[in-house]
Amino acid sequence: MNISIVGTGYVGLVTGVGLAEIGHHVTCIDINEEKIRKLKKGISPIYEPGIESLILKNISKERLDFTTSFDEGIRFADTIYLAVGTPTGIDGEIDMTSFDKASNEIVDSINGPTIIVIKSTVPVGTNNSLQKMMNERAQHKVTVVSNPEFLREGRALSDLFEGDRIIIGSEDKEAIKTMERINTPFDIPMVITSPKSAELIKYASNAFLATKISFINEIANLCDLVGADIQEVSFGMGLDKRIGSQFLQAGTGYGGSCFPKDTLGLLQIAKESGMKFQLLQEVIKTNSKQQKILVKKLLTKMDTINGKKIAILGVAFKPNTDDIREAPALRIIEELSNQGALVYAYDPIVEKSNKALPQNIRMVDMIEEALNQADAALIVTEWEEIKKLKAEDFKKWMKCPIIVDGRNCFDPNEMVQLGIYYQSIGRGGEKKSLVLK
């Protein structure tokens, strides 16, 4: 099939490369010239393990190309995927600006019967509205299908090729047949449903995963009060197949470009439908509280952090990505800086030049630079490189080994034996020990 993908972000690029890999001819369109120039050379604008080799492979097989021109990009397409961002707007609503702009760009370039696939995460009812617009303005028959993505950053290719299900939202038999033909080579179960159900499956799935995380974080906070161990509690819970062990790791709260956006988005969808989604409001509030917990724990040990050197290990919202959108580290760094701390942050791949980084921190190239003579260290992202550190390293490098571990990377007993003040999430509260210096 000839497929065009509008938008080459985390979703559009991975989807385009994946569709080319299973044999389709794919043209990816983006308005960003620099991004397209690099993609033509096989350079990915996003950090996604394995993506660049697949880009180069499919370019060489002439199944994948890139352009900034909508006309050129969709001229030969019989299926156009809309994969543009639908971020959170200024007051929490779903910002459809890019989506609407892209829809208007393509409607005038459609030159034959076309299927438009909504890959972006969009409010319930968007498929129907776009179908109506296309019926009114397109010169040829256009059928709009919903096909939400479930890709996790850092493992998007495995989620694409080994996903649990492909959701297809349409009532048009021909369009359903085409989507089945496009997706059959993935060999993943396909669920055919209504457009509205497909749109809601996406939001509900992300909101449920966020709910699991906020729930286990609250259980972790209870563990600290009662002296239980969250890793043992989570393990015991997760063996129940009805609960499942995934997304049951307590930490410093969820971040990223999706959970925060999609939980707020679902809240808006409910509100506009006249429903107060109380549970989801609490999930969001709990997460916001959890993102502050590391600083709270730190301040139970240090009377003041004004003028103190604080090391932040990990800035990306999770390992194996360079994405810092809504990363807990950003809120933590802001809080520390507001209280006068000197923040030295380390992350294996987040670029120092990332404009979303706060100005008043020092991004260092090596973990030792962050820890050297630090008064305290906060573990925020569980990168392998950080998890490999030994308790002795902290003792050797830090002025005063106070550690607050937001991702439970280390063994509390090892830390206590070395006289390190160590706090983590949900592991029986403060490990009391004298800081031997």
d(CA 292, CA 15): 35
Annotation says 28 is catalytic: no
Binding residue (CB under 6 A) for ligand UDX from 12, 73, 251, 401: 251
Place of tokens 């990816």: 28
Nearer to ligand UDX among residue 73 and residue 348 (C-beta): 348
Binding residue (CB under 6 A) for ligand UDX from 143, 249, 408, 424: 249
Question: Which segments of 200-318 are extended strands (E)?
Answer: 309-313
Residues counted in the chain: 437
318 is in an annotated binding site: yes
d(CA 174, CA 80): 15
Burial track 164-173 (b if 16+ CB lie within 10 A, e otherwise): eebbbbbebe
Q: How many CB atoms lie within 10 A of CB 376?
A: 22
Q: Is 347 in the site for ligand UDX (CB under 6 A)?
A: no
Element housing 263 (H / E): helix 259-272
The pattern of x and - marking residues 140 through 169 that bind ligand UDX according to CB under 6 A reads: ---------xxxxx----------------
> What is the number of H-type helices and E-type strands within the chain?
18, 14
Binding residue (CB under 6 A) for ligand UDX from 82, 201, 258, 425: 258
Least Å distance between CB 356 and ligand UDX? Answer: 15
The answer to whether residues 294 and 224 touch, using CB atoms and an 8 Å cutoff, is no
Q: Is 248 in the site for ligand UDX (CB under 6 A)?
A: yes
The answer to whether residues 101 and 31 touch, using CB atoms and an 8 Å cutoff, is no
- The string of DSSP letters for 73-109 reads HHTT-SEEEE-----B-TTS-B--HHHHHHHHHHHTT
Least Å distance between CB 144 and ligand UDX? Answer: 21
Q: Is 213 in the site for ligand UDX (CB under 6 A)?
A: yes
Nearer to ligand UDX among residue 195 and residue 265 (C-beta): 265
The answer to whether residues 221 and 429 touch, using CB atoms and an 8 Å cutoff, is no
152 is in an annotated binding site: yes
Q: Is 259 in the site for ligand UDX (CB under 6 A)?
A: yes
Scanning residues 314 to 333, which ones bind ligand UDX (CB under 6 A)? 317-318
Q: Is 247 in the site for ligand UDX (CB under 6 A)?
A: yes
Q: Is 431 in the site for ligand UDX (CB under 6 A)?
A: no
Q: Is 287 in the site for ligand UDX (CB under 6 A)?
A: no
The answer to whether residues 269 and 125 touch, using CB atoms and an 8 Å cutoff, is no
160 is in an annotated binding site: no
Positions marked active-site: 258
Question: From the annotation, which residues make up the binding site?
Answer: 30, 35, 86, 121, 150-153, 202, 247-251, 255, 261, 318, 325
Residues interacting with ligand UDX, by CB under 6 A? 149-153, 206, 209, 213, 247-249, 251, 254-256, 258-259, 317-318
